[in-house]
Amino acid sequence: MVEIKHAINEWEILLFSIAYHDIIYNPLRHDNEEKSAEFALKRMTTLHCSAGQVNNCTAQILATKKHTWSNDSDTNYFTDADLSILGSPPAVYKAYVQSIRKEYKLYPDFVYNPGRQKVLKHFLDMPAIFKTAHFTNKYESQARMNLQEELRSLEK
């Protein structure tokens, strides 16, 4: 993130978003982002952050639910950073995939695989996975290769 710090308008808020975006996480739930945003809101309120700062942070956290383009450039950098693992070298990505599978180990393959395929297709169907030029140039091509390879492995 330091390499893009110059492009961030509210660096401190982005750091809050990084710290709190997965503070509440349960793989069995679908409201992790909302719960994490609520937690951040409470914490930032006790720290006397402004309403604008709190709103920006919670919006960034909520944006990780869909990872779609935002009118706010800081949010785009934040969600891009959150997805940067997708563009990692194949061996690193494979270890990440194995960690995800362990996280969802309570689901048998016949349940897990279709859900994971849906997630992969969601990203592959996007015109661009990353929203900023920095992350697109650095990770887009490799991310698409990694996602396509994982999708092929699940379709076997």
Encode pLDDT of 33-88 as tens digits.
999 999 999 999 999 999 999 999 999 999 999 898 999 999 999 999 999 999 99
The rounded distance, in Å, linking the Cα atoms of 22 and 45 is 18
pLDDT of residue 156: 76
* Residue positions counted in the chain: 156
Q: How many domains does the chain have?
A: 2
Could you tell me if 142 and 87 are in contact, meaning their C-beta atoms sit under 8 angstroms apart? yes
pLDDT of residue 27: 86
Co-location of 1 and 59 in the same domain: yes
Closest CA to 120 of 60, 67, 62: 67
| pLDDT exceeds 70 at position 133 | yes
The rounded distance, in Å, linking the Cα atoms of 64 and 73 is 14
| pLDDT exceeds 80 at position 147 | yes
Domain, as residue range, for 39: 1-65
Question: Pick from 14, 30, 65: which residue ends a domain?
Answer: 65
Mean pLDDT of 92-110: 96
Residue 152 inside a domain? The answer is yes
The rounded distance, in Å, linking the Cα atoms of 113 and 101 is 10
pLDDT of residue 1: 65
Residue 74 inside a domain? The answer is no
Question: Pick from 18, 35, 65: which residue ends a domain?
Answer: 65
Residue 8 inside a domain? The answer is yes
The rounded distance, in Å, linking the Cα atoms of 153 and 156 is 6
Co-location of 56 and 84 in the same domain: no
Question: What 3-state class would DSSP assign to 18?
Answer: helix
Co-location of 84 and 37 in the same domain: no
Q: How many CA atoms lie within 13 A of 74 on its CB side?
A: 21
Co-location of 92 and 120 in the same domain: yes
The rounded distance, in Å, linking the Cα atoms of 66 and 47 is 28
